[in-house]
Amino acid sequence: ISVISHEGTDYTLPSVADRTFSTRVLDALDKIKTGELADKFGWIQKI
């Protein structure tokens, strides 16, 4: 994904190599899912 449009405005995203914030978020979420990082927000629910 390189562009996101919302209400007629286009938002250009940086190249994948330059996406530091989204990479950190993905890493943190993966670690929460696997239990490597504590789920301090109570997002994980056993079903």
Using one digit for the tens of pLDDT, what is the confidence trace for 5-46? 999 999 998 888 888 888 899 999 999 999 999 999 999 888
Q: How many whole angstroms separate alpha carbon 16 and alpha carbon 6?
A: 21
Residue 22's pLDDT is: 86
For 1-39, letters b (16+ CB in 10 Å) and e give: eeeeeeeeeeeeeeeeeeeeeeeeeeeeeeebeeeeeee
Residue spans of the domains in the chain: they are: 13-39
Residue 17's pLDDT is: 83
Residue 6's pLDDT is: 96
- Length of the chain equals 47
Query: pTM of the predicted model, to two decimals?
Result: 0.61
Residue 16's pLDDT is: 82
